[in-house]
Amino acid sequence: MHLKTVVLASAIITVTTGIETHGGYQYEARFSPEATPEAKNIKDPYETTAATIANARLREQVEATGIARQCLAESADAEPAGLYALKDCIAADNKRNFFTLLAEDIEESKAFWTQVIQESTTDRTKWVPARAVSDYPHLFLQYPYTKCYFNGNLTATQFAAWTLSQNADEANLNANPEHYYKETVLDSTGAQRSEIFEGWGGVLSTFGMKRTNFTVPAFAPPEYGTVDTPEAWDIGPSFPLPLQRVGAKVLTSEDGQTFGALHIAVRDFTASEGSTGESGIEIYSAVWYPPWDQASEADQAEFVNNYLADEAHHMVVEVINLTQKAHEDCKSGLCVIPSSI
Ligand SMILES: *[C@@H]1O[C@H](CO)[C@@H](O)[C@H](O)[C@H]1NC(C)=O
Ligand SMILES: *[C@@H]1O[C@H](CO)[C@@H](O)[C@H](O)[C@H]1NC(C)=O
Ligand SMILES: *[C@@H]1O[C@H](CO)[C@@H](O)[C@H](O)[C@H]1NC(C)=O
């Protein structure tokens, strides 16, 4: 509780501008297509707080289990770089260590999502997107759109190709403090199947990290207007369909229940569409969740307003870190869509 209070206070103080700069490139996030860009930086405050929480939990579990104990000497620094070094050390010992270290967290999260699913409509037209509350007094559909002003130095096609490469999985552990495992395989049609273990909460909401073990069994270009991908999820023609992917998020458990749907898209935008005079790529990322419509009013409000805001902020952190890494990797000509798909 005390930690959370301190954290919220520091997030509020870090008010700067609508543009944040990372690795020499400018970024701008908004939480709906027509909204004005967020006035405060998203990445640094969110990532730093999430790193503090993850660092404390991991160290506690390394102490308790003795797994990868040598890593405790690695870095006491909870800033993102220190936490990433700790995770790299734990993964170097065995990249499946996180499943054991955080086994209780996985169980807790599974119970949470099972309850949300049970107490929600299965009608996906009523699902709610991960969103953030910004200046809007009322509920407002919001999902992150992040403009990345690469000015031709990273294109939408290059980024899409990079996300299909092994490098994307390799960057995962350092892309977000709460990332613990990601393994992706492509099938012959180009659909991606990923096994993912991550958390994405506890910074803005009281629900905690919810460290969840899940799979996205088929992440592929969507066909809108179906039961699985309702018309309302269509983001229009400015995002080319081949550079969009949608896939169910399925809990890793015997009954494999679907607890959400992931939707990511990328497009090139021209200098006249941006606010800095430069061109770049825009990344749309949303996760649609069951609305928990049969929960208490207080729980539902916390879930929809604050917990899903955590996830929206988490995704902005990830978009910035991954585009930075993709830009580095693509310089060496790696970023070409495989000709087999
Ligand atoms: C994400 O940003 C943090 C903080 O700047 C950095 O330590 C980390 O290496 C970045 N991750 C990637 C994959 O570039
Ligand atoms: C982007 O690439 C151009 C060359 O195409 C280069 O002149 C420019 O410095 C690069 N921008 C950044 C911010 O690195
Ligand atoms: C988590 O998922 C992985 C597959 O990605 C599986 O091997 C592992 O056993 C699962 N662990 C738990 C505790 O659910």
Ligand closest to Cα of 168 equals 1
Q: What tokens were used for 84?
A: 């990433």
Q: How confident is the model at residue 142, as a pLDDT? A: 57
Q: What tokens were used for 131?
A: 């969103």
Q: Kindly give the distance from the C-alpha atom of residue 329 to the centroid of ligand 1, in angstroms, as a whole number.
A: 14
The DSSP result for 82-115, as a single string, is HHHHHHHHHHHH-TTHHHHHTHHHHHHHHHHHHH
For CATH 3.30.530.20, the residue range(s) in the chain are 104-331
Which band of pLDDT confidence, cut at 50, 70 and 90, is reported for residue 7? Answer: very low
- For 104-331, which CATH class? alpha beta
Q: Kindly give the distance from the C-alpha atom of residue 196 to the centroid of ligand 3, in angstroms, as a whole number.
A: 9
Q: Kindly give the distance from the C-alpha atom of residue 159 to the centroid of ligand 3, in angstroms, as a whole number.
A: 29
Q: Kindly give the distance from the C-alpha atom of residue 91 to the centroid of ligand 3, in angstroms, as a whole number.
A: 15
d(CA 16, CA 18): 7
Query: Can you tell me the mean pLDDT for 213-221?
Result: 96
Q: Is the CB of 253 under 6 A from ligand 3?
A: no
Q: Which residue's CA is the nearest one to ligand 3's atom 2?
A: 213
C-beta separation of 84 from 173 below 8 A:
yes
Q: Would the pLDDT of 8 be above 50?
A: no
Ligand closest to Cα of 97 equals 3
More confident: 11 or 267: 267
Which band of pLDDT confidence, cut at 50, 70 and 90, is reported for residue 122? Answer: very high
**Lowest mean pLDDT across 141-145, 243-247, 325-329:** 141-145
Contact partners, residue 163, CB within 8 Å, separation at least 6: 264, 322, 326
Q: How confident is the model at residue 69, as a pLDDT? A: 97
Atom of ligand 1 at shortest range from CA of 172: 13
pLDDT tens digits for 250-300?
A: 999 888 999 999 999 999 999 999 889 999 999 999 999 999 999 999 999
Neighbours of 215 (CB within 10 A): 18
Backbone angles phi, psi at 79, to 5 degrees: -55, 160
Which residues' Cβ are closer than 6 Å to ligand 1? 80-81, 84, 171, 174-175, 321, 324-325
pLDDT tens digits for 155-180?
A: 999 999 999 899 999 999 999 999 99
**Lowest mean pLDDT across 99-113, 126-140, 288-302:** 126-140
**Lowest mean pLDDT across 135-144, 173-182, 314-323:** 135-144
**CB-count exposure of residue 305 (10 Å: 0-12, 13-18, 19+):** middle
d(CA 221, CA 237): 13
Q: What tokens were used for 185?
A: 């395989």
Q: Is the CB of 153 under 6 A from ligand 2?
A: yes
Give strand pairing partners of 185: 193
C-beta separation of 303 from 295 below 8 A:
yes
Q: Would the pLDDT of 341 be above 70?
A: no
